[in-house]
Amino acid sequence: MNLRLAAALCAALSLCAVLAVPANFPALGGDARLTLAVFALATCAWIGTPIDDTYIALGAGLALTATGVISSDTLFGTLGEDTVWLLICAFVLAAAVARTGLAGRAAAFLVGGARTVRQLVHLTTAALVVTAFAVPATSGRAALALPVFLALAKVLADRKRLVVMLALLFPTVILLSAVATLIGAGAHLITVSVLWEATGDRIGFTQWLLLGLPLAVASSHLAAETVLLTTTRRAERAGPVRITAEEIQRHSESPVTGPWTQAEKRCALLLATVVALWCSEPLHRVSPAVVALIGAVVASSPALGTVRLKDALKTVPWSLLLFMAATMAMGVALADSGAAGWLVSGLPADVAPAVFLGVVVAVSTAAHLVLQSRSARSSVLVPLVIAAAVGAGVNPVAAALASTAAAGFCHTLPASAKPVTLFSDVPGVPTYTPRDLLRLSAVLAPLTALLVLFFAAAVWPLLGVPVTR
């Protein structure tokens, strides 16, 4: 048994033993005690065991249901949440986009305009930010971007440090730009669901886009410049670059130049229509999940579609959806049983809002060192952050968004996130080492935390989300 597992297990079992004594914490009800015990054991298992995160979450949800803390309707009803359907349909749309090769055309168009290393870095960053609208989940975007990276690596094969820099750039931007859209990460959907259950505040696709896109653009380009400066020297950045469409074509199965096919035109029009309808939700009042479902049906239709429905459904991460559903149920249990409120009841009530947000952002930024799953971090942190925010007089929407955005930083270790793992070991291509990650993390972690804090305190209030209520 490794040291981390032993420590986590001891802490969880100790808490369970303390909670089992009725004389301890007389203000804590039976349901709250059970919820805290299950939550502690689940968190311990997420931290210290190799057991699948989804299996642990389902076990925790089942335990809470079997003990009567939540009803079976609550547990199973989470699978019917519109956010779950939104993610399913978004993956079907992403499968249609991937089948047509539109991503390769976009990459050739954007990256082909670079003439210097800095231009290449920021054009690549812009292209990766855009993919957040077409492909849900960071792991899917990383898989889509890998062929583009391979093409760039072959062109720059004689400039090794630039290849290492690009290998680090791709996962860094993919992770930080996910906050641009509601479908950028499963953690976002968990945050929205927990916020709705706990406070009645609902964040739609358009509002998330308004709040998240500016932060995604700013943090992505800040990270790009940080990666460039921490990974390469001035001499290595000197000299022109030239990326041609022909070189990208060698690593793409679909054409990246020439006339568009009918399938590409239909898919591009469909994607643009879906995104436009998502962004204009306040005008037509049609749920983003319904819009996504319409788009998925059209994308997989025999006459107009570019992918068969059964093939598209194979790309849906069903394990992630079950994990989301189970952790949503855990969040409901924390809120309804009073466990979350009790956990934060001992916090001082006179904390300044800026200090409160600073602590939330700092803890959320560092949480990836303990909980490697982004969704698990939100499942643990967001219910507690919301309860603490209500007690401290801070707007729970601002606190939950700040926590979720800060938790998107997970670059310290190769195992901290799937995109980081994917780009850390690319056969035949020089890539980054753990030392490169640590050097980047030491600079980028405080920068991104300060940027999130700045947005929460100064930018989001201008966009309708004040720090206090």
Question: Can you give the pTM of this predicted structure?
Answer: 0.83
Integer Cα distance of 168 and 272 in angstroms: 30
Q: Is the pLDDT of residue 344 over 80?
A: no
Integer Cα distance of 176 and 171 in angstroms: 9
| Among 194, 186, 189, 188, CA closest to 335 | 194
Neighbours of 286 (CB within 10 A): 13
Q: Is the pLDDT of residue 1 over 60?
A: no
Report the pLDDT value the prediction gives residue 404, as an integer from 0 to 100. 92
Report the pLDDT value the prediction gives residue 213, as an integer from 0 to 100. 92
The residue count for the chain: 469
DSSP letters for 75-131:
HHHGGG-HHHHHHHHHHHHHHHHHHHTHHHHHHHHHHTT--SHHHHHHHHHHHHHHG
Structure confidence at residue 215 as a pLDDT band (50, 70, 90)? very high
Task: Render pLDDT for 35-94 as a digit per residue (tens, 0 to 9).
Answer: 888 888 888 787 777 778 888 889 988 988 988 888 888 888 888 877 788 888 888 888
Mean pLDDT across 8-31: 72
Task: Render pLDDT for 286-324 as a digit per residue (tens, 0 to 9).
Answer: 888 888 899 889 888 887 778 888 888 888 888 878 888
Q: What percent of the chain has pLDDT over 70?
A: 90
Q: Is the pLDDT of residue 450 over 70?
A: yes
Residue 468 three-state SS: strand
Structure confidence at residue 454 as a pLDDT band (50, 70, 90)? very high
DSSP letters for 361-390:
HHHHHHGGGT---HHHHHHHHHHHHHHHHH
Integer Cα distance of 314 and 330 in angstroms: 27
- Residue 394 carries which DSSP code? B
What phi-psi label fits residue 137: left (phi over 0), alpha (psi between -120 and 50 degrees) or beta?
left
Structure confidence at residue 282 as a pLDDT band (50, 70, 90)? confident
Integer Cα distance of 284 and 274 in angstroms: 13
Distances in Å between the Cα of 468 and the Cα atoms of 47, 189, 398, 459 are 33, 23, 8, 14
Q: Is the pLDDT of residue 108 over 50?
A: yes
Distances in Å between the Cα of 69 and the Cα atoms of 32, 76, 247, 340 are 8, 14, 59, 14
